Amino acid sequence: MSKKQINILCSNGHLGFAPTKEGSFKIGAATKPDYYCCDSGSDDIGPVPLGADKCASHYEWQKHDLELMLLAAREQGVPMIVGSAGDTGTNRSVDLFVRMIKDLAKKHSLPKFKLAYFYSEVDKKYIKNQIDRGVIIEGLDGRSDLTPEELEKTDRIVAVAGIHPFMKALEMGADVIIGGRSSDCAVFAAPAIRDGFPEDLAYYAGKVLECASFCAEPYGAKESVIGTITQEDVKVTACHPEQRCTVASVAGHAMYERSNPFYEYVAGGMLDMTHCNYEQYDEKTCRITGSRFIPIEGKVKVKLEGSGKVGERFIGIAGIRDPYTIKHIDKVLQWAKDQVEERFAGTTYQLHYRVFGKNGVMGALEPVKETQSHELGVIVEGIADTKEAAEEVTMIGTRQIFYARLPEVKGTAGTAAFVLDEVLPASPAYLWTMNHVIPVDDPMELFDVRLIEVGR
């Protein structure tokens, strides 16, 4: 029989990216929610962490957030669910989170519990075999269908799980679930759907809860919120004493990141918010009705994310105050680019300039004014096949800003620019190579759920 309602606490909009605020978490935990759920990943962090297989979040922050959730969930005896372990959901990141859960269980002498986890990485050979069989791997957001050439440029691929691995883990009796790369909203929708609530409301709850207190006002990140799901509605409540979930804050968050704000692709279908109705339920709670989930007809399609290494990378920094140089900054940068090309002609490299402060400042309610700034900051990014070449590309590209030859400069260029004497090593440069969907016969085809026992 379906339950009348469940309460899901979301502690953080991206577990570990910055530490969860303990005060509001404890307020939320005191209400005894039915689930503790949190998303721990995003492609907003760019392609480097996936390609390099490393975390963008600090280890101690990740452990802090996992510890808060684990202790509260185990004290209550309710499930804890985390998706996209370690920012990217790679196999190494899943193993990292599983190891942290084991260490925390040992540290606190927790009684035995069942820990489920699943991997999301996809072997390039599998994708190549699919292409060779004539399977079309469709590009998203204007990308072309995947070609063997683009696949070859890819170093690491993860599939984005929907609700199915989480539901299977719950059916296996899991007390704690650590997921590989996952759809943000699936982490929350899965337990709600398994407990008998409509997909329409479950997916909407996932969408609005995934970023935690981003759906509340005044703005405050890393605070906890609680979602209440019934057979008729979703209610979202802010846990921080000074925050409220309002019609404006919840609707704004639900629709903030799309060209068409009323529709969003979620694993297996589209979330239609055209007919959503928002009302202020109480001082801290917004009530939502009217969302619809529209399943995609035909074969299930799973999103794939892939990243490939472009080269080694260094960073340079220059500050410019000379008014004449600022006025002719485009010519200055072209001079620097030409000097790099003179040295590296015929080789593979990239040189990028990012100029900050170029167009001055405007008031919030005033039209744009093209005023000249008194100072510019220039970030120089050099990329090449080797560290040595990348360092030299960046160094020339930075220092030649100082030596640019402008027609009206009669003597010293000493007032033109301050250039950081040393360029700085940065992480290798990576590029998104895959943002595609692949058809599968079974939504579990790319995800292997495993169950172990942890604790004393």
pLDDT tens digits, 99-128: 999 999 999 999 999 999 999 999 999 999
Q: Which one is predicted more confidently, 34 or 361?
A: 34
Report the pLDDT value the prediction gives residue 358, as an integer from 0 to 100: 77
pLDDT band at 412 (very low <50, low <70, confident <90, very high): low
Cα–Cα dist 182/82, whole Å: 9
pTM confidence score: 0.92
In-domain check, residue 156: no
With 70 as the cut, is the pLDDT of residue 89 above it? Answer: yes
pLDDT confidence tier of residue 220, bands split at 50, 70 and 90: very high
Q: How far apart are CA 382 and CA 40, in angstroms?
A: 31
447 and 427 assigned to the same domain: no
- Whether pLDDT at 359 is above 90: no
In whole angstroms, give the CA distance from residue 152 to residue 402: 40
- Residue at token pair 């719950």: 170
* Chain segment 256-265, per-residue pLDDT in tens: 766 666 677 7
Band of residue 195 on the pLDDT scale cut at 50, 70, 90 = very high
Query: Chain-wide mean pLDDT for the chain?
Result: 92
Q: Decide if pLDDT at 364 tops 50.
A: no
Q: How far apart are the first and last CA of the chain?
A: 34
Tell me: the pLDDT tens digits for 416-454?
566 666 899 999 999 999 999 999 999 999 999 999 999
The answer to whether residue 193 is domain-embedded is: yes
**Quick check: is 17 in a domain?**
yes
- Do 368 and 404 belong to one domain? yes
Structural domain containing residue 362: 310-431
pLDDT tens for each residue of 300-338: 899 999 999 999 999 999 998 888 888 889 999 999 999
310 in helix, strand or coil?
A: strand
Instruction: Check residue 97 and give its pLDDT.
Output: 98
Average pLDDT for 208-224: 96
| Interatomic CA distance for residues 182 and 166, integer angstroms | 10
Confidence (pLDDT) at 405: 87
Is 110 among the domain residues?
A: yes
Task: Give the residue among 97, 103, 104 at the shortest CA–CA distance from 62.
Answer: 97
On whether both 323 and 291 belong to a single domain, the answer is no
Asked if the model's pLDDT at residue 348 lies above 90, the reply is yes
Asked if 379 and 285 sit in the same domain, the reply is no
| 345/286 same-domain check | no
Residue 384 domain flag: yes
DSSP string over 269-287: EEEE-TT-EEEEEETTEEE
Confidence of residue 371 (pLDDT cuts 50, 70, 90): low
- Provide the pLDDT for residue 421: 66
> 114-124 burial by CB neighbour count: b if 16+ within 10 A, else e?
bbbbbbbbbee
Give me the mean pLDDT over the 33-62 stretch: 96
> 369 falls in which pLDDT band (50, 70, 90)?
low
Dist. CA 10–CA 29, nearest whole Å: 10
pLDDT value for 351:
98
* Statement to judge: residues 89 and 193 lie in one domain: yes
On the question of pLDDT at 210 being above 90, the answer is: yes
Answer whether residue 195 is part of any domain. yes
Judgement on whether residues 290 and 353 belong to the same structural domain of the protein = no
| Domain tally, the chain | 2
**Residue 141 included in any domain:** no
Q: For 375-396, how does the pLDDT look when each residue is reduced to its tens digit (9 = 90+)?
A: 899 999 999 999 999 999 999 9
From CA 367, how far away is CA 211, in angstroms rounded? Answer: 32
Whether residue 322 lies inside any domain: the answer is: yes
Give residue 25's pLDDT: 98
Q: Is 36 found in the same domain as 91?
A: yes
Give the pLDDT band (50/70/90) at residue 298.
confident
On whether both 323 and 272 belong to a single domain, the answer is no
CATH number at residue 326: 3.30.70
| DSSP state letters, 232-252 | S-EEEEE-STT-B--HHHHHH
Question: Cα separation of 204 and 291, whole Å?
Answer: 7
- Compute the average pLDDT of residues 250-258: 82
Assess whether 247 and 353 both reside in one domain.
Answer: no
- Answer whether 39's CB lies under 8 Å from 187's CB: yes
State the pLDDT at residue 430. 98
In this prediction, residues 90-97 reach a mean pLDDT of 98
**Length, in residues, of the chain:** 456
Nearest to 426 by CA among 454, 453, 387, 392: 387
3: pLDDT confidence band, cut at 50, 70 and 90? confident
> What pLDDT is recorded for position 297?
80
Same domain, 49 and 173: yes
Beta strands in 207-276 (DSSP E): 225-230, 234-238, 263-266, 269-272
Percent of the chain with pLDDT over 70: 92
Judge whether residue 2 has pLDDT over 70.
Answer: no
> To 5 degrees, how large is the angle CA 222–CA 216–CA 14?
30
When pLDDT is cut at 50, 70 and 90, the band that residue 363 belongs to is very low
| pLDDT computed for residue 257 by the predictor | 64
**Distance (Å, whole) CA 40 – CA 62:** 9
Residues 70, 31: one domain?
A: yes
With CA atoms as reference, report the closest residue to 288 among 210, 227, 371. 227
* Residue 295, pLDDT score: 85
- Mean pLDDT on 232-238: 98
